[in-house]
Amino acid sequence: MPDARTTAVVQRYLDELARAPEGEPTPVVRELLAGAAERLHLLCATLLHRGYPRLTRPPLNLRTDEMLGAVVERLLKALRETRPAGVRQFFALASQHIRWELNDLARRLDEEPPRLEAQGEALLVADTSHSALGPEARRILAAIDGLPAEEREVFELVRIQGLGQTEVAELLGTSSKTVQRRLNRGLLSLAESLGDLVARREPVADP
């Protein structure tokens, strides 16, 4: 898991970036992204494999390193005009661009016509029943996006970025108990809004 050193390095480059003119390419941006590479890689892997596993299988066979490269390109462009004030805002921006990249790939995959595969002398339509995002996955993502801002931020930092609650508390300038309360409220809200999905997946006990 990324340590406090990553946070310190990223903040140092953000401070330098804040002094650079907007709209101009700067070496600081590349240094910033290099310093954040480990955590960005973790973010890409988590969102790809948990939220979009279909993209890791044929026909795309998307890998985390490929995903990271595309996200870095997005951030290189975004950071010409955007100046995150701190580590918290930087990784929120990164998470947003990771989701946009994955959504774009998922949408393009869904829009592709079904492929015809030869099997013996018959032509079969390739299985697209498990394309990138099904109705349940879209509903889960919508429920997360619908959480109050504070609860959504803590949920993403703890459950998606994989940070410890103590590190999140330091990042947000609050206490670990407050982080725990926000996380619990977010989980409770998700359980209430998605409870029927959980119930459908629970095994039925033998009579």
113 and 15 inside one domain:
yes
Task: Please give the pLDDT value at position 116.
Answer: 40
Location of structure tokens 């990223």 = 10
Q: In whole angstroms, what is the distance from residue 171 CA to residue 160 CA?
A: 15
83 and 8 inside one domain:
yes
- Calculate helix-pair angle for 4-18, 87-111, nearest 10 degrees: 90
- Of the three residues 80, 99, 132, the one that is the final residue of a domain is 132
The CATH number of residue 138's host domain is 1.10.10.10
77 and 28 inside one domain:
yes
Max mean pLDDT among 23-27, 94-98, 120-124, 179-183 falls in 179-183
- What mean pLDDT is predicted for residues 138-155? 86
Three-class SS state of 125: strand
94 and 183 inside one domain:
no
Count of the separate structural domains present in the chain: 2
Q: What percent of the chain has pLDDT over 90?
A: 27
75 and 97 inside one domain:
yes
Higher local confidence (pLDDT), 161 or 147: 147
192 and 111 inside one domain:
no
7 and 73 inside one domain:
yes
pLDDT above 70 for 81: yes
- Of the three residues 100, 132, 164, the one that is the final residue of a domain is 132
**93-132 pLDDT per residue, tens:** 998 898 888 888 888 877 765 444 444 443 333 343 444 4
pLDDT above 90 for 148: yes
38 and 58 inside one domain:
yes
- Of the three residues 132, 167, 189, the one that is the final residue of a domain is 132
Task: Please give the pLDDT value at position 181.
Answer: 96
Domain holding 139, by residue range, is: 134-207
pLDDT class of 184 with cuts at 50, 70, 90? very high
Q: In whole angstroms, what is the distance from residue 60 CA to residue 131 CA?
A: 11
Location of structure tokens 């596993």 = 53
